[in-house]
Structure 1
Amino acid sequence: MILGDGSVQRESHYEILSVKEGASYEEIRSGYRSAILNSHPDKAHKTSDSSAAADDKFLRVQKAWEILSDSRSRVAYDNELRASRRQQNASVSGDIDLTDVGVVVVEERGGDDVVVELCYDCRCGDCFSVDSSDLERMGYKLSRDRDYVWFEDDEGASRSAASVVVPCGSCSLRVRLSIETGLKVPFAGMPNV
């Protein structure tokens, strides 16, 4: 189970445009121009997966520019960003990463298609858990081979660190799972593929 709005920490509009939060309008415009050129769908390879990812990235760049180029919407966004950070920092009982969790196969869909669940013990006796299908819907792919699991982004490349707030199944505690792309963790429990 994943919490709703505000529980998933994604790239900020500033990070999407590769500018600092205190950037001037000109710096934001320059960042937008660079990002839009690099993410334009016409520049993507012609596979359906990369095309969809390129379209998504292009739309995120457009949205970031729409918000940050207007002074009123930027002030509102900055306020929301600060409030979200305060809430996230105040509402978790701990920080974990892939090296801290147990990995369990919860569903085999045939072939290489397997849903795995990441579990971390809670002090109440239950556990904090999230499965790979939930993470994938949020844009975080949990990849695996016979021996390891690791996070990839949708484009298959690294991006800046992000996190997901995961609730306990029984009590009110939550932990922040750090999404670090490329960090490979041994996994002995995968079925033979």
Structure 2
Amino acid sequence: MTGPDLFHETEARAAGFSRIAGVDEVGRGPIAGPVTAAAVILDPARIPEGLNDSKVLSAKRREALCAALMDCAQVSVAHATVAEIDEINVLRASHLAMERAIAGLDVAPDMALIDGNLIPRGLTLPARAIIKGDAASLSIAAASIVAKTRRDQLMRDLAQQFPGYGWERNAGYPSKSHKDALLNLGVTPHHRRSFKPVHNILYQDK
């Protein structure tokens, strides 16, 4: 199985675009923590070796590649909060985080390659949605690595403030130990109240 390449970026360059941002998000499935997005504009002359869908890389490899990307690419990371997730739903919140990541780039892109099948409706620049884009486009793969690395670090930091939920291991996903901790320790301000395991605990006696 081949990994991501520059096919989509090359196509976009042929269409006249020169600053092409790959965009991906992580954190739609957890029951705690924000959703995190990254936007990355690669320098074609300085692409780190080994870029791939973050899900197929070890944590150590992701961290090394993230550090390399921070040094040789234009990178922006943004979040949508738990409150925003609960208010507008996690899909819209993930798109909001993507929009913020794109807006945060020091160099404004003129084209965005978006992982998934939907283009965030708040975007004001040309964009293309690519299903499983993190396995197809090097720019999106880079964004997936940065988003995953940054969110995992954020959840490790939160785990120190709220020990017992295992966020340093489960990144907020609903593992059995995490759900057991919810029952035993209660709901924190970082839990998504609109998500069923949390909602059920909050309203089980009502």
- Calculate the TM-score normalised by the size of structure 2: 0.26
Q: Which has the higher contact order (CA 8 A, sep 6+)?
A: 2
Max radius of gyration: which structure? 1
- Calculate the TM-score normalised by the size of structure 1: 0.28
Which structure carries more helix by proportion?
Answer: 2
Which structure carries more strand by proportion?
Answer: 1
